[in-house]
Amino acid sequence: MVSSSETEEKVESKAIAEHVEVSTNEVDTAATLFADGSGELDPQEAACIRKKIDRHILPLMCILYWVQFMDKTTLGNSAILGIRTTTHLTTNQYNWLGTIFYLSYLLFEYPQNLALQRFPVGKWMSCNILIWSIALCCHAACTNFAGLFVVRLILGMCEGSITAGFMIVSSMFYTRNEQTLRVGYWFLMNGAAQIISGFISFGTLHIHTLGFEPWQWLMIITGTITFILAICFFLFFPDSPTNAWFLTPEERVLAVMRIKENQTGVENKHFKKEQMIEALVDPKTWMFALFSAIDNVPNSLTNQQTLIIASFGFTDLQTTLLSCVNGIVEILTIWSGVKLAARYPNSRAYVAIIYFIPNIVGVIVVNVLPWSDSVGLLIGVYMTGVGTTGFVLSLSWVSSVTAGHTKRITTNAIMLSAYCIGNAAGPFMWQEKYKPRNHIPWAVIGICYACCMLLLWLIRLHLNRQNKLRDTQPHDDQYDNAYIEHINNDGTVDEVKVQKEFLDLTDLQNLDFRYVL
């Protein structure tokens, strides 16, 4: 018969064996803020915190994404404002200006992600915005291909920090379901940018100044807007919920409690080589990357859209206004798509696949209608903007299914690098020999959309299989008793327990993690 004292000794020795000390460098930044935290968050408190976060960061994110896309597409708008004539660009040189932006984006994407991990996210993005605003204004001083090549390279280098930074910020402040909506909200500003830039281009066509072309005014106007935004971002955009200026110390704890369900933590400023390696060998990383690359080959339409619409027989003034319609299509489809995905659990892949169908129909319409049917051809072009929803959903999806801060920034870098590869390759489809019908580029675009639908289905199949495997496994208690040292105000040191959600574990290390579908 075993005595009670012996039983207590066994329980105590087991507890000591399970007790794991963890360095503060290894855990999430929220661990010290929320160490040993417990209890339930009141739903009303959570809603109030979410609204406060929305009020302070979502408007800035939306405005910046609008400005980013507007700046990126100034080249396309400038095409009908005289940039090709003034700077003596050939068709091939014009295509290269679209490509070099994304090659620069690709080259600096991983360094940008490392910097976003190492430095305060908001401040780092602000510095990049400031540099690209200056580079954008410098477009107006360029008189040849070489000058434009340099400023486009700088533009790509700086803008590579924005989408990656927004993906990190969205995962810091919002739950997984909220991320789908918020990513959709700031991404649909691409559509708003097409509308606003269309009207700005329309306005600049009416500016007549000696020695200064309309396209140069477009660069100055958009560059000035970006410069003002850089200052606002530096002053008002937070770096993390753990130090957000608009939250009280108590609200910061509640903000962290809100995202506890994500099991991805907030951030960790220390690079972990093992997490980078895990990202490189994780199949889903490359499935998302392949989707990103293929989906963005058709994105070359951004710089070609005004030229394509003009080729249907519309005047320059009509073309600038008709280009705005595509922005309206993008806003409506992204908004409705993310709403559907957020409303119906585990529906991301299915919603994205459905939204690719009009794209394929649009490609068929553009290829088979007679060239005289300019209205029908125009509608076909507009239909190819519906599938943008698929890429938006993939951005929020990859953030939701990747845990571990270094792994997440590595995965984001790979996916956005693939995005650059697709965008860099796309412009070279549009050769002079294929005009005016461009049957070959449109056929490539149609094939890309079909491949995207297949990839989304395969990603869902893979993640669903991983969830089912985890459901059959016993509970993993390896990380249930992790402790860090906490220095009190009086200088004494205590050991406090860290919850698993804030240990900066990857989705493969944390067997309690379930992938959203």
The DSSP output letter for 488 is: -
CA angle 117, 72, 332 (to 5 degrees): 95
Q: pLDDT tens digits for 314-363?
A: 887 788 778 778 888 888 998 999 899 988 988 999 999 999 999 999 99
Q: Which two tokens stand for residue 162?
A: 């924005």
pLDDT band per the 50, 70, 90 thresholds, residue 488: low
CB 481 within 8 A of CB 495: no
Q: What is the pLDDT of residue 480?
A: 67
Nearest of 331, 403, 349 to residue 176 by alpha carbon: 403
Q: What is the pLDDT of residue 22?
A: 55
CB 262 within 8 A of CB 176: yes
Query: For residue 436, is the peptide bond before it cis, meaning its omega torsion is within 30 degrees of 0?
Result: yes
User: Which amino acid does the sequence have at 497?
Assistant: K
**Residue keyed to tokens 């859209």:** 305
Q: Which two tokens stand for residue 60?
A: 């800035």
The DSSP output letter for 490 is: T
Which has more pLDDT, 338 or 1? 338
Q: Which residues contact 304 (CB under 8 A, 6 or more apart)?
A: 76, 427, 430
**Residue keyed to tokens 């590595």:** 410
The mean of the pLDDT values for the chain is 82
Q: What is the pLDDT of residue 252?
A: 85
Which range is least confidently modeled, 33-42, 125-134, 305-314?
A: 33-42
Which has more pLDDT, 191 or 363? 363
CB 164 within 8 A of CB 304: no
Q: What is the pLDDT of residue 21?
A: 60
Task: Decide: pTM greater than 0.75.
Answer: yes
Which has more pLDDT, 266 or 447? 447
How many beta carbons lie within 10 A of that of residue 281, not counting itself? 9
Residue 467 has pLDDT above 90, yes or no: yes
Residue 96 has pLDDT above 70, yes or no: yes
Q: Which two tokens stand for residue 419?
A: 């995005």
Q: pLDDT tens digits for 197-207?
A: 777 877 887 77
How many beta carbons lie within 10 A of that of residue 186, not counting itself? 26
Q: Which residues contact 30 (CB under 8 A, 6 or more apart)?
A: 241, 242, 256, 265, 266, 502
Q: What is the pLDDT of residue 88?
A: 86
The helix (run of H) or strand (run of E) holding residue 482 is strand 482-487
Nearest of 229, 300, 219, 239 to residue 66 by alpha carbon: 229
Q: What is the pLDDT of residue 101?
A: 84
- Cα 175 to chain center, whole Å? 16
